[in-house]
Copies of this chain bind each other. A is one copy, B any other.
């Protein structure tokens, strides 16, 4: 059983929470607590061994916590996700494979693409694919068409698996901190377009990738995970892009695992990640 709690920090929170658990005779296997003493926020993630009435436990925890608290007891271990893609396959197929073999900790409800290229691979995995082309229509209509599909499916998160269109504030605000993007650079270096071309021209010795929640500020949302790989003078911009795809796949997979395991808390423009 996983318990995650976020609220404003004050003395006695751990005692109060652990007291509730002890009263219910629930043993704690692993506990991670963090207090941001600058922003005065409290975060805790508890793995507890025994099972109980989740609803009642949640209420008992709310009873001892500040009014602003959010408590989730046993957050659904199987999240539901919708994946948005354009042409590149590498992140999508990694998700489809894990989904197929039930090691994703989530279920892919459908894939929406603004290009038909990845329809075939979705079909091979019996995952619904919806084509919503952005061509010859306004962004407003493009997003409305996507929204009408999204609403057909239950979903906890939307994953931008190399989706190459910029989404509007109107679209984004409907999924606050529930859209996860993989950015093809070690943010904040090389934000924006063509990061591999920028990296090549700058002659860097490492390239990276960043998984983050999407906010209105392009490439500026809370960072979930980052990784890098070494490159050198023998890498052309194309070779850097190829190497980058490997690291993009790995970082997005890692970030999704962390989010789906309820290890990621968001506040301000940051994350607390209990790895």
Contacts and interface: CB of A to CB of B under 8 A. Distances in A.
Interface stretch (A6-14, A133-141, A173-181): A6-14
Contacts of A14: 14, 18, 21-22, 28, 31
Given A18-B15, A31-B31, A188 B205 contact: no
What secondary structure prevails in chain A residues at the interface with B? mixed
Contacts of A59: none
Nearest to A190: B188
Contacts of A272: 233
Number of identical protomers = 4
Nearest to A269: B203
A15 B64 CA distance: 13
A202 interface: yes
Given A27-B9, A34-B234, A93-B97, A203 B223 contact: yes
Interface stretch (A78-86, A145-153, A224-232): A224-232
Q: Which of A16, A187, A226, A272 has the most CB of B within 10 A?
A: A226
Contacts of A26: 11
B15 A19 contact: yes
Interface in A16-59: 16-19, 21-22, 25-37, 44, 49
A27 B35 contact: yes
Interface string A69-96: 0000000000000000000010001100
A66 to B, nearest CB: 14
